[in-house]
Amino acid sequence: MVFSFFLTMPIIGCCQLGEESRFPSYFGIYVRAVFPSNAIGNAPITVSKNGFTSTITQNLGYSFGGTVRAGITKLISFETGINFTQRNFSIQMDLVDSSITGTNTMGFIQYDIPLNALIYIQLSKTWYANASIGMAVGFKPTNIGVINYPGGLHTITHTGYVKSKIGLDINGNFGVEYRTKKSGIFNLGGSVRIPLQPLFQYIAVYTNQSYRTGAIADVNGSYLSLDLKYFLPLKRGNAEIKKGPIE
């Protein structure tokens, strides 16, 4: 409950700012396809010790949430919101000189609040380009873990251990959008997310009765994404609303 309260404060504040500001605020929703990329330091990670080897690879994930734009000037806005992100990982493992191999998958969730400065470039009456950069405050609620061969002579455990539940990410975005007064704003763009600390610590352990070995490595969790956003049109009452940054 406490965390939910702090999550909603930026949206409430931005909406109140929009009501009083010359440049109004806009509320929207978004969906995002998350793509791992070696270009930003997210290559597969292999850990190995005493003949036991395991490789963890980040795969396609997804994200969605609500977003708010608060106009500062005609071509500058502040953007924030509440995001949910699911990262997916695949695991491959084997034990040298044996027939013991296996695969598995893990999913890791994160909530975050982006805090971005957004700049527009007007291309035509209805088309705009925009770019934003800022930070995202992330919350990682829990560790994750899966097991291969549970209850047998050979057991392999895979754990994603969260060393710090709160973290900071670098957050950048570029996009183009089509704006209409009646139907709202449609935005297509891409984002980059780079955590400033490991997403989690990957721990792979092989156990055979009294024998036990394992290895540890940090998982970065950086990604590129394809984003689709939609902002609701403004509702005009009796009072006149002056043109804002995305009208």
The 10s digit of each residue's pLDDT in 141-183 is 999 999 998 888 889 999 999 999 999 999 999 999 999 989 9
Question: Has residue 245 been placed in a domain?
Answer: no
Residue 84 lies in a domain: yes
Residue 102, domain member (yes or no): yes
Whether 31 is covered by a domain: the verdict is yes
User: Structural domain of residue 179, as residue ranges?
Assistant: 2-231
Band the pLDDT of 3: cuts 50, 70, 90. very low
- How many whole angstroms separate alpha carbon 226 and alpha carbon 191? 7
93-126 pLDDT, tens per residue? Answer: 999 888 888 899 999 999 999 999 999 999 999 9
Mean pLDDT of the chain: 87
239 belongs to a structural domain = no
pLDDT at 45 over 80: yes
- For residue 236, what pLDDT is reported? 62
Q: What are 57's two structure tokens?
A: 């690879």
How many domains are there within the chain?
Answer: 1
109 neighbors 89 (Cβ within 8 angstroms): no
Please check whether residue 99 lies inside any domain of the structure.
yes
Q: Is residue 59 part of a domain?
A: yes
Query: What φ, ψ does residue 38 adopt, rounded to 5°?
Result: -65, -20
The 10s digit of each residue's pLDDT in 25-34 is 899 999 999 9
pLDDT score at 17: 41
Q: Looking at residue 219, which CATH number applies to its domain?
A: 2.40.160.20
For residue 6, the model assigns a pLDDT of 38
Gyration radius from the chain CA atoms: 22
Burial of 172 from C-beta contacts in 10 A (0-12 / 13-18 / 19+)? middle
In order, the DSSP letters of 88-152 are EEEEEEEETTSS-EEEEEEEEEEEEEEEEEEEEEE-SSSEEEEEEEEEEEEE----EEEEESTTS
Task: Identify the pLDDT of residue 74.
Answer: 85
